[in-house]
Chains A and B, each alone.
Chain A
Amino acid sequence: MSKVYKDATAALDGILSDGMTLMVGGFGLCGIPENLIAALRDSDIKNITAISNNAGVDDFGLGLLLQTKQIIKMISSYVGENKEFERQYLSKELELEFNPQGTLAERVRAGGAGIPGFYTKTGVGTLIAEGKEHKVFNGETYIMETGLKADVSLIRAWKADKEGNLIFRKTAQNFNSTMATAGKITVVEVEEILENGELDPDHIHTPGIFVQRIIVSRDLEKRIEQLTTRPKEAV
């Protein structure tokens, strides 16, 4: 059975439903699944719970789904780049669950690995710890956090083979490889799909068992949030 689909709309066909939980890879706008987010915006799916480190910017990334009010709840660690998000949250149109970034990453990792909960020092004594089980190990207090799973994970990688083995590029990996493990269905968009055997098996970041559907990205914008450069020094 081929995992390769012709475009983002085809790859999302039949797996979306109102009220679904979605994981979306990326850090800021780096490594976000641009085509899949656009296809989601063009669908009529509503009441999405989105698990993603950030919320994009006002007019790109998950910001597109905030504009259309398709998201009712976000689980994120930092949303500072998105004014519309802040507005919707402060006016209570949107529910927000802040997770420390490492807790979020580990919750996704645990969820994907079938681990229902774990203990961490992160957040002890803060708002994050309220209502959570506390436990002392070797004289130090930890709080219990739970694993996270998603109905669908949308991620971006650099290259895939037809089996769905993935390689990521530089810091565009971020949450993508871990989220691939935690979606009941994981859809990936890549810059290039290769024949099986063309990726070195020793270099695979994400084995194909975690990937159900693959598309090639079209017209990737790869927007840069903070372009910072230095002048070329005279040689």
Chain B
Amino acid sequence: MAWTREEMAKRAALEIRNGYYVNLGIGIPTLVANFIPNDVDVTLQSENGMLGMGPFPFEGEADADLINAGKQTITELDRTSYFSSADSFAMIRGGHIDLSILGAMQVSEQGDLANWMIPGKMVKGMGGAMDLVAGVKKVVVLMDHNARDGGIKFLKNCTLPLTGVKVVDMIISDLGVFVIENGTATLTELASNVTINNVKEKTGANFKVDENLLFL
């Protein structure tokens, strides 16, 4: 059985270390916040101008002036600070954020990422994704291994316009975990009841299999 979205988010949460400043993207990455262990002290950054993001507000207590980058209402914490978009991206581009977890349409075996447009079809924009992958110390992609129509997303080369070149350090999909280092992808963990051959059938990229591959 491949991992559920919650299991993927739980696995991604293990990448968060004590003391980290972390930016979580929209979609499955947002779920990661629910699985951060209590003994890990982490500060979540929201690129619209906030450090120290709290949980969703209680019913009836939402504040229109307090949203995250996904435009969802949120709350503040004791440690929270607010700042301008320029300061926010000074944090991101200046290398002050430890970890970025974001979604992808395509990733290449070299770690190229595409997640912002499909020419002629979908025009949404890159938002802060290009800045995050260029400036954050570690970039983790959290995505379904294949598109809804079965299309291959982990490829030899991306076919969609890129968000960044050689920027992805790790992919966590519903089938397992890949580490990308020096332009080479290595399968390091497999989801329960998924085989290496299953992964190969659903992947266009070349990848090595770690000699200490974990079967989870």
Q: A106-B89, A226-B70 are in contact. Are A178 and B63 (CB under 8 A)?
A: no
Q: Tell me if A165 is interfacial: C-beta within 8 Å of chain B.
A: no
Q: Tell me if A79 is interfacial: C-beta within 8 Å of chain B.
A: yes
> Number of contacting residues on B, CB 8 A?
55
At the interface with chain B, which of A42-50, A63-71, A166-174, A211-219?
Answer: A166-174
CB-based nearest A residue for B126 = A100
- Interface residues in B114-157 by Cβ distance below 8 A to A read 116, 120, 122-131, 134-135
Whether A122 contacts B135 by the Cβ 8 Å rule is yes
Q: How far is the CA of A225 from the CA of B65 in the complex (A)?
A: 11
Q: A174-B48, A229-B59 are in contact. Are A30 and B65 (CB under 8 A)?
A: yes
Q: Tell me if B163 is interfacial: C-beta within 8 Å of chain A.
A: yes
Interface size class of A (residues with CB under 8 A): 35 or more
Main secondary structure of the interface of B (DSSP, over half): loop
Mark B140-178 against chain A: 1 for CB-CB distance below 8 A, else 0: 000000000000000000000111110000000000000
Q: Tell me if B106 is interfacial: C-beta within 8 Å of chain A.
A: no
Residues of A bordering B, CB below 8 Å: 27-31, 53, 76-81, 86, 89-90, 96, 98, 100-106, 108-109, 120-128, 158, 168-178, 205, 222-232
Residues of B bordering A, CB below 8 Å: 46-50, 55-74, 76, 82-86, 88-89, 92-93, 112, 116, 120, 122-131, 134-135, 161-165
14 pairs, CB–CB < 8 Å, chain A vs chain B: A29-B71, A78-B125, A90-B120, A101-B126, A106-B86, A106-B93, A125-B162, A126-B161, A171-B66, A172-B65, A224-B62, A226-B71, A227-B73, A229-B61
